[in-house]
Structure 1
Amino acid sequence: MENIDLEMIDVFKAISNETRLKILKLLKEPEVNFGYENTKVPEAKPSEVGVCVGQITEKIDMNQSTMSQYLSMMAKAGLLIPTRMGKWTYYRRNEEKIQQISRYLSTEI
């Protein structure tokens, strides 16, 4: 099996959960779904650095531990890009990876 296929297995595992898929959808338009200002670092615009874990947790209504596991899994699969600012971690979509997945689906499957 090719490396790209193995990589895609991790991606598909990460998005095979309804909540994780919802997170990706919400992060597609962070300002619309979370507002234009981050609650912890106002100078960090959601479209540039991402959305704070706490904001995502609040929007999804889930405990912080489970949310952190979900976000970590999605970051390891390359779907999200984490950015650390002080004691807060922000997540944004990896649009390049999402385009790669789209190309993979249209050409390989």
Structure 2
Amino acid sequence: MTGSPSGRMRQTILEWLKDPPAHFPAASRGDLAATGVTARAVAVKLGVPRRTALAHLDLLTRLGLLRTRRIRCRTYYVRDEIRIAEVARMFEKGW
């Protein structure tokens, strides 16, 4: 993997969110793959402050690579597989 440390961290987050149950503890609220993962869970897994994880998650969301879902007072993040496939095709074509 090449790129900046921040880029690698975001790539790692996207990889983890491909299969959340394999990378994050079971949530008390349903299926992680369907519901998503909180910024706190990502921060714990990365070993960084929640604000740092949130900055990465917010950027990935603004790029359209993640979707958010609010449940009560928490935001959950899931991959947007359609958008990720579109971006991958752009890079394959040489953008």
Q: TM-score range by the shorter chain?
A: 0.7 to 0.9
Aligned twin of 1:57: 43
Q: Which has the larger radius of gyration?
A: 1
1:47-99 per-position Cα deviation (integer Å, ceiling 9, x unaligned): 10211111111000000111111111110000111111111111011100111
The counterpart of 1:24, out of the listed 7, 14, 19, is: 14
- Cα distance in 1, alignment partners of residues 74 and 83 from structure 2: 24
Structure 1's unaligned 5+ residue stretches are 1-15
Does 2:79 align with 1:93? yes
Aligned twin of 1:8: none
Corresponding residue pairs, total: 90
Counterpart secondary structure, 1:17: helix
- Cα distance in 2, alignment partners of residues 79 and 52 from structure 1: 16
Percent identity (aligned): 27
- Cα distance in 1, alignment partners of residues 14 and 78 from structure 2: 9
Deviation at 1:102, TM superposition (A): 1.6
State the TM-score, normalized to the length of structure 1: 0.76
- Cα distance in 1, alignment partners of residues 91 and 55 from structure 2: 26
